[in-house]
Amino acid sequence: MVTLTPLDRARLYLEKIPGAVSGQGGHPQTFAAACALVHGFALHPSDALDLLRRDYNPRCVPPWTERELIHKVTSATTAQHQKPRGHLLGDDYRPAPAARPQVALAPRPILRIDPASAVENYLRGFRCTANDLRAASPCKLPPIIRPGGEHWHRQGSYLISQLFEDHEFANVVTESIFADGKARPGNGGVTLPQNEWQGRLLEPLPPRPGGAWLRMNSLDGQGIGDANVTAHRFALVEIDSVPIELQLPLLARLPLPISAVLTSGGKSVHAWVRVEAANADEYRAAVAKLLALLARFGVDGKNKNPSRLSRLPGVARTIGATGDGLQDLLYLAPHPEQKAIL
């Protein structure tokens, strides 16, 4: 019979506690975890701190700083508790004759881990597929506009009809240039009222080697700069530094108000996160906070401006794509909640 030590039992207990998420009760949740370790399982503070560092903090968004973790453990050690020390060990707990001295908890250098490992730590084995996202989509894409369907190219029209208002202007870019093997927008594109683009995209666009782009936020029809944005509605979350098979489950698991998930046709997936800012300053502040929270997962930190381009779904890329070349709409939620998709 295998006998688990208090440290082993505490580790198993901690595995069942989800990572803390900023703005969703993360402080009391992490303090409760620290109390369970140092009081409920009667661990020495340094052992509790090590467990929080290795087994809990990698799942938090954002992760706690070393100083914050030390503060949680120190507070849990000195707090008054209603239940006796070791209560989570039940009858197996026997107070030590002489407790180990309460040493000061010194900060350790922060270990930097690569984005793929950070994603793996957060997902804890969870996986999903493109079909799982399609099944979870509030707006169901009919088979006729899925890849292989007769009107797959109408995905762009469908997205614009759901995420742009009737009176708004949308901007589409179809010209591309190639630099360092990557396709980039070749010009400022064409800006038209929502209903005009909705009608035009019912027919397939002429084949374009680099694919096509769509600005996520509506414009005033006078230009394509940040100053021309009329609705600061969406922010772009793009990850191309981890394998695509990790990007999909990460986006499905993050507690974000995601309105759209689409593939770029290359090595990244794009998520449109609804921020609904009142103005440009509020938008930049909200997006900066969002990107900082997700930085450890390898999210592109350059996607800060409201006139940012994303990919237009329903278009195939033929040159420079490292994926299947299909810019495919997987998930569409005009009014998303701030919670995980799956």
Query: For position 105, what pLDDT does the model report?
Result: 66
Query: For position 98, what pLDDT does the model report?
Result: 44
Q: Quick check: helix, strand or coil at residue 57?
A: helix
Query: For position 109, what pLDDT does the model report?
Result: 58
pLDDT band for 106, please (50, 70, 90 cuts): low
- Given a cut of 80, is residue 3 above it in pLDDT? no
Q: Are residues 67 and 135 in the same domain?
A: no
Q: Quick check: helix, strand or coil at residue 313?
A: coil
Number of residues written out for the chain: 342
Are the C-beta atoms of residues 195 and 201 closer than 8 Å to each other?
Answer: no
Q: Are residues 174 and 36 in the same domain?
A: no
Q: Is residue 137 part of a domain?
A: yes
Q: Are residues 90 and 191 in the same domain?
A: no
pTM of model > 0.85: no
CATH code, 145: 3.90.920
Average pLDDT over residues 108-112: 57
Q: Is residue 135 part of a domain?
A: yes
Q: Are residues 100 and 177 in the same domain?
A: no
- DSSP 8-state assignment for residue 240: -
Q: Are residues 321 and 281 in the same domain?
A: yes
Average pLDDT over residues 106-135: 83
Q: Are residues 142 and 87 in the same domain?
A: no
Query: For position 191, what pLDDT does the model report?
Result: 97
Q: Are residues 172 and 319 in the same domain?
A: yes
Range of the domain at 292: 123-332
Q: Is residue 338 part of a domain?
A: no
**Structurally, how many domains does the chain consist of?**
2
Q: Is residue 117 part of a domain?
A: no
Q: Are residues 163 and 303 in the same domain?
A: yes
Q: Is residue 142 part of a domain?
A: yes
107 or 175: whose pLDDT is higher? 175
User: Distance between CA atoms of 49 and 56, rounded to whole angstroms?
Assistant: 10
Average pLDDT over residues 318-331: 83
Query: For position 61, what pLDDT does the model report?
Result: 82
pLDDT band for 159, please (50, 70, 90 cuts): very high
* Phi (first) and psi of residue 262, to 5 degrees: -145, 150
314 or 106: whose pLDDT is higher? 314
- Given a cut of 80, is residue 310 above it in pLDDT? yes
Q: Are residues 184 and 246 in the same domain?
A: yes
Q: Which residues contact 8 (CB under 8 A, 6 or more apart)?
A: none
Query: For position 89, what pLDDT does the model report?
Result: 86
How far apart, in Å, are the Cα atoms of 110 and each of 21, 57, 63, 161, 208? 20, 12, 11, 46, 46
Q: Is residue 50 part of a domain?
A: yes
Q: Are residues 279 and 148 in the same domain?
A: yes
The percentage of residues in the chain with a pLDDT greater than 90, rounded to a whole number, is: 53
Q: Are residues 188 and 98 in the same domain?
A: no
